[in-house]
Structures are given as structure tokens and as C-alpha cells.
Amino acid sequence: MRLESLALKDFRNYEQVSLELDPGLNIFVGDNAQGKTNLLEAVYVLALSKSYRAAQDSDLIRHGAQRALAAAQVRKLAAVELGFVLSHTEKKRLLVNGKAAAANRFVGTLLAVLFSPDSLQLVKGAPADRRHSWMSRSARSIPCTARRFWNTSGWSASATACSRPLRKAAPF
């Protein structure tokens, strides 16, 4: 899977930007507060349909704008276009190949792994916080269709029962 291009309009500090990404390594360099993290956040939203930093989707809309748009060209076996539209007045719209899509069809099309300064809490934080953070991040990375199967199949109860002795014995 490869992210080939990214286009943003009125997303965070970007009025408009369009990037063609290299098939290899892409490095974003710039002064503080110039938008490097905002690019990564847009990719994260395209992968998981929600921000890892913003409490509300409206926080992602550039100050003074009415809506924010993002689009990306992703190549798996074939090219797929992902996008989202955020508005102060309407519900978030997720798009796959230009057509509205439910979150369970959208999430998992683009796979992304995030490591941020907050990720250090997995190592440095209190034990209960580490477990909660790891479990919530792990659950978000499972496609919605698999989560639905997990919740209805009884696997969840089995996994809970099996992990109970491990949690009691764990040193953290």
C-alpha cells in the first residue's frame, strides 16, 4: 500500500496544499508551527476517520473557513481515492472514490501507524494508563467489520476470560 498524493483545503493552517509523494521515504522539514504535524494528522484522519489531536472535527477547519477538505490517492492493487469533508454545520462526510462511504468501508482502506510524543506514555505512564492507551489504540486499528465480528462472536468474552489471569500476574 502506498500513499501517492495528498491534497488539503482549509485543513488546520493550510489554505490549500497539494503534494505528490515519493514511493520511498518522504521527509517533511521546516520551522516549528509550519504544518508538518498537520500533514501527518490529515493522513491519520484519512486512515481512521478521526484525529488523534483534535477533540472535535471542527477543530480541524482552518480559522475563518466554513469547511475543510482532504483527498488522497492510495494504491493497493488498484488506485483508490479517499477523502473527507468537514463542516461547522454538517456531519462529516467520508468519501471512497468520490462517493459517500460509511466509516466501516472507509477505515482500513489506508493503513497508518502513528508514533507521537504522547506515545511515550505507553512506556513512561502509569500502568493503568498504559494499558488503556494501548488497548484503545489497538481497537481503533481493527477494521469496523472485524470489530463487529469480534463483539458478536463471543470471542471478546473468551479473550477477557483468558486474559484475566495474565492481568493479575502482570507486574504492571
Burial 53-81 (b: 16+ CB within 10 A, else e): eeeebeebbbeeeebbbbbbbbeeeeeeb
pLDDT digits (tens, 9 = 90+) for 83-126: 999 999 999 999 999 999 999 999 989 999 888 877 777 777 77
Look at the chain and count its residues.
172
> In which residue ranges of the chain is pLDDT below 70?
129-172
Cell triple for 28: 517533511
Q: What is the pLDDT of residue 138?
A: 63
Domains and CATH numbers, the chain: 2-106 (3.40.50.300), 125-169 (no CATH)
Three-state DSSP at 86 gives strand
C-alpha–C-alpha distance, residues 150 and 30, integer Å: 43
E strand residue ranges, the chain: 2-11, 14-20, 67-75, 79-87, 93-96, 99-100
Q: What is the pLDDT of residue 43?
A: 97
The residue to which cell 481497537 is assigned: 139
Give pTM, 2 decimals: 0.74
CB 121 within 8 A of CB 131: no
Interacting residues of 122 by C-beta distance below 8 A, sequence separation 6+: 130, 133, 134
C-alpha–C-alpha distance, residues 146 and 113, integer Å: 18
